[in-house]
Structure 1
Amino acid sequence: MAGRSPTMLSRRGLLTGAAAIGGTAALSGGLSACGTAAVANPDTLQFWTLLSGGDGGTMADMLAKVTGSGAAYDVKTTTLVWGEPYYTKLAMAATGGRPPDVAIMHASRVPGYAPGGLLDTWDIDRLAELGVSEDTFPEEIWKKGMMGEELFAVALDAHPTVMMFNTDICDKAGVLESDGKLRATTLPEEFVDLLGQLGGQTKGGHPLSYGYLGDGAQMFRLFYTFYTQHGAAMTFPEGGEAEIDDAIAIESLELMQRLLDGKLAAQRSDYASAIAEFATGRSAMLLTGVWELRTMVETGMSFDMSAIPTLYGTPSTFADSHAFVLPHQNEPDERRRDLTYQFVADLLKGSYDWATAGHIPAYLPVTESPDYAKLTPQSHYAEVAQQVSYEPEAWFTGSGSNFQSEFGAAVQPALMTGKDAAGAVDAFRARVNRLLKTTNPVDPDGTWKP
């Protein structure tokens, strides 16, 4: 049975709406870059991804395995530019009647696209027959693909913010346990003290590397990790006002300011500078995403990885997921849909290889296997998949969205100066409230409420 979908928008409405979501998305060229569905060979599935670089190479290897073992399908992959250009073209393809059979989407972007009928739902029973079900995923990761009682996204992974640490420097500073793990810290003061102990071992750098200048995503990832570690959440009710705990938000931002004091970490550093500082051995720790695993492996340095310490009582880490979605088809071919389900199930079962990209496979039979337990440093932070916190749901949030830029614009001055965290939180709230007064351009009738 094909997935259900709300009433579709007109093409004109979608073009306007997609541009509004993207803010700066380029629409030139129309659908010419989108590709068309396979006709000559009905067993060739069209698969769109935004995965490039090392991730793209890993996915290509995984595709070769699932299509080279007597599979009943072949796959034609179209890789588009990451970010709003990708999401705009995906939306245009769905409303223009030329969608791929399956596509990769960040799970955090689904709330902005499913309401307007751009995505079909997954048949949960159909997936279960292939060994893909709720009990084969971490609870929060499976729930993120749900909207109400319907499943719109099946996660391939979790890619959280984590902590990398130079094991040579940490060993010299005496902050490693006998098993090689970093000494546990459970309070902000303990973490600051640990960094202070590391300071004497860094040469011309800092105990901690963290880059944020001009990068709203980086700022929000760490801020929301600390915020949700308080056991708190943010909600952005459509047509209402942002529900943010001011005291917790201020405390979270003040910890970031404390770390960025020029001694523990550079007060003003961008993402590339932070990566370079850690990669060249001039810092002991780095707060970054799991996707930088390959970068550090290539340096040949001695390092390990772990979850960001739980400093406020509740294990929680900001994360997003690459997820499989079904772009809307007016009349899906049932044979091709069956093959699409089989294809996704095959990729999930073969996602051990996806861990080489640093991401945590979402499919539990993979991460709970003996082989995965031997995989280092990946197995050392696999627990993070059980404590993920996604961005607050709203049509304007999600990976690469304008929301992250809005957050960065509100809080960057406070991080640069170390002053007025309360004013930064007020500015953030005001920006969110303005967005909440704006109608979701791909859901003009408000047919879905988070």
Structure 2
Amino acid sequence: MTARSPVPAPPPRPAAVSGLTRRRLLGAGTAGAGALLAAGALSGCASPASASDANALSVWDPFQGGDGLLMDDMIKAVSDAGRGFDIDRTILDWGPSYYTKLAMSAAGGRASDVAVLHLSRLAGYAPAGLLDPIDLDVLAEFGVTEKDFTPAVWKRTQHDDTVYAIPLDVHPFIVFYDKDAADKAGLLDSSGELAPMGSPEAMLDAGKALADATGHAGIVFGHVNDTAQNWRLFAALYAQTGAAFTLPDGGAPKIDVDAAVKVVSFMQQLFDGKTSPDDLDYYAGLTMFTSRRGGMAFLGEWELPTLKAAGFPLGAAPFPQVFDHPAVYTDSHSFVLPHQDNPDPARRRESHRYAAEMLKQSLTWASAGHIPAYQPILAEPQYAGLKPQSSYADAAEVAVLDPPNWFTGAASAFQVAMCQPLQSALLGDTSAEKAVRQMVRESDRLLKQPNPVS
């Protein structure tokens, strides 16, 4: 890894402004990336800071709802502590539009000082020059170094051995379970937590036992017409086989077809339409679990606030290992420096300090279910007291993200393309073999498309 030369210290500044200075909620356009990245569109993309106070540190993120309020609390905390920050926070609509607008601003060289990026999208931004590197020396001055992150997450912050992202969290695809149902089904260990499974057969048996315990369904999984759920489940299980899923630029996809077929066949067995439903959409699955008509649910940890509100004894665990290797599908919200043509050294230093201070506030972020990427937080007694969050913190050790390429990652066309054949297989409309062949074809098709920002 390389680090840039330290930048000079900032000049004296006015006393900190308590709390948020500005908070703007903006909707982003939904036009295609190619059209939005045309030269004419870029020429009119103004610097966010210029829209208000040029002295404020401009920050973009997609956090609304409960996460947005937690981000407010964290920004207020770092602003109130010692020499704080004057923050101009812009909240954009989550989804493809967020990433298009981020690319537009960075390609124009007049982006925000800091932005939030899913780590799975880094390969579409860093190689294209849309992000500027993180200065590891400056970051270390503010108490944050590589050793503060798990190797599984840190390795995805890099392109060509240069670090471009500072992870805030790890948000994994995990299992939630009804503790009463799991206890009745004999699935808990002596400490009252979910016992290891260790094989596909054990998970199939667990589904049957949970169905008997609830009198309804064993495992619920909402996936119909969803743009990510099927891929999350497949990617977790496929990684557990030890097989690689590689999408090399200028080449054909490298996918272990036999391993992929084994995984899809297992998914079909698990969601057989009898023990566990095969035809739930996302919200139907969520409702079925919260109404206690399913003993276990496959969901992202971000659903924790909704599930806790249901009021029953709730357990959670990293996605169980059923094949040969532990692996949990995850992503990570990370702080990045969108490319600027002429960045001010003092503002760049403040951007590093802002990211470091926000990491140290991530116990607040963990209250919504996210695993802090900054490992010192996990060692705090307060984190151990967060239940069930601390029960699945080990997922960060075996984190698996999307295969890196410009078209993969959160809210991407790749995930949509992978979900469609998987849905057909789960609904019984096609075989596991045909579904995998379609996944290979779709991967090859995407590899042949030109990167619109290269």
Distance 1:410 1:431, change over 3 A: same
Consecutive unaligned residues in structure 2, runs of 5 or more: 8-29
Which letter maps to 1:387?
V
Q: Is the 8 A contact 2:157 2:165 kept in 1?
A: yes
Pair 418,264 (structure 1): closer, same or farther in 2 beyond 3 Å: farther
- SS of the residue corresponding to residue 453 of structure 2 reads coil
Q: How does 1:202-281 map to 2 (within 5 A)?
A: 202-203=214-215, 205-281=216-292
In the other structure, the counterpart of 2:15 is: none
1:60-98 per-position Cα deviation (integer Å, ceiling 9, x unaligned): 111110011233421111000001111111111122343
Structure 2 residue 189 is matched with structure 1 residue 154: no
Question: In the alignment, which residue of structure 2 is the partner of 1:12?
Answer: none
Question: Contact (CA 8 Å) 2:120, 2:401: kept in 1 or not?
Answer: yes
Q: Percent identity?
A: 40
Match of 1:361 in 2: 372
Q: Which runs of 5+ in 1 are unaligned?
A: 5-17, 444-450
Partner Cα distance (1:243, 1:272) in 2: 34
- Aligned letter for 1:278? F
Closer, same or farther: CA 42–36 of 1 in aligned 2, 3 Å: closer
Shift of 1:20: 5.5
Return the offset for 1:28.
12
What residue number does 2:136 align with? Answer: 124
Whether contact under 8 Å (1:20, 1:441) holds in the other structure is no
Cross-structure match for 2:48:
36
Is structure 2 residue 361 aligned with structure 1 residue 350?
A: yes
> Structure 1 residues 401, 31: closer, same or farther in 2, change over 3 A?
farther
Deviations 1:5-33 (Å, cap 9, x if unpaired)? xxxxxxxxxxxxx9665899999997889
Structure 1 residue 133, shift from structure 2 partner: 1.1
Give the deviation of 1:272 after TM superposition: 0.6
Q: 1:170 aligns with which of 179, 182, 191?
A: 182
Compared CA separation, residues 21 and 386, structure 1 to 2 (3 A):
farther
The one-letter code of the counterpart of 2:338 is P
SS in 2 for 1:263: coil
Structure 1 stretch displaced more, 20-29 or 84-93: 20-29
Equivalent residues of 1:55, 1:357 under 8 A apart:
yes
One-letter amino acid matched to 1:352 = L
Q: In structure 2, the residue corresponding to 1:70 is in which secondary structure?
A: coil
2: distance between equivalents of 1:164 and 1:332? 45
Q: How big is the shift at 1:172?
A: 2.5
Do the aligned residues in 1 keep the contact of 2:49 with 2:58 (CA within 8 Å)? yes
Would you say the 8 A contact 2:131–2:337 is kept in 1?
yes
C-alpha distance 328-33 of structure 1, shift in aligned 2 (>3 A): closer
Task: Give the corresponding residue for 1:389.
Answer: 400
TM superposition shift of 1:132: 1.2
1:384 to 1:24, Cα distance in 2 relative to 1, 3 A: farther
Correspondences of 1:43-442 after superposition (within 5 Å): 43-203=55-215, 205-417=216-428, 419-442=430-453
The residue type paired with residue 245 of structure 1 is D
Superposition TM-score, scaled by structure 1 size? 0.90
Secondary structure, aligned partner of 2:112: coil
| 8 A contact 2:6–2:138 mirrored in 1 | no
8 Å Cα contact 1:157/1:360 also seen in 2:
yes
Deviations 1:26-46 (A, max 9, x none): 999978897622588554200
CA, structure 1 residues 239+180, in 2 after alignment: closer, same or farther (shift >3 Å)? same
Partner SS, residue 301 of structure 1: coil
Query: 8 Å contact 1:38–1:46 — kept in the other structure?
Result: no
Aligned to 2:87, the other structure's residue is in SS state strand
Say which is worse superposed, 22-31 or 221-230, in terms of deviation: 22-31
In the TM superposition, residue 2 of structure 1 has moved relative to its aligned partner by 7.4
Number of aligned residue pairs: give it: 429
1:3–1:48 distance in 2 versus 1, CA, 3 Å: farther
Tell me if structure 2 keeps the 8 A contact 1:268–1:416. Answer: yes
| Contact in 2 for aligned 1:165/1:303 (Cα 8 Å) | yes
Question: For the structure 1 residues 23 and 174, does the alpha-carbon distance in structure 2 shift closer, same or farther, using more than 3 Å as the test?
Answer: farther
Encode CA deviations 1:280-303: one digit per residue, 9 max, x unaligned.
111100000000000011111211
- SS of equivalent residue, structure 1 residue 427: helix
> For 2:87 and 2:5, how far apart are their aligned partners in 1?
20
Shift of 1:442: 1.1
Partner amino acid for 1:226?
L
Moved more, 369-378 or 382-391: 369-378
Displacement after TM superposition at 1:173 (Å): 2.7
Moved more, 376-385 or 404-413: 404-413
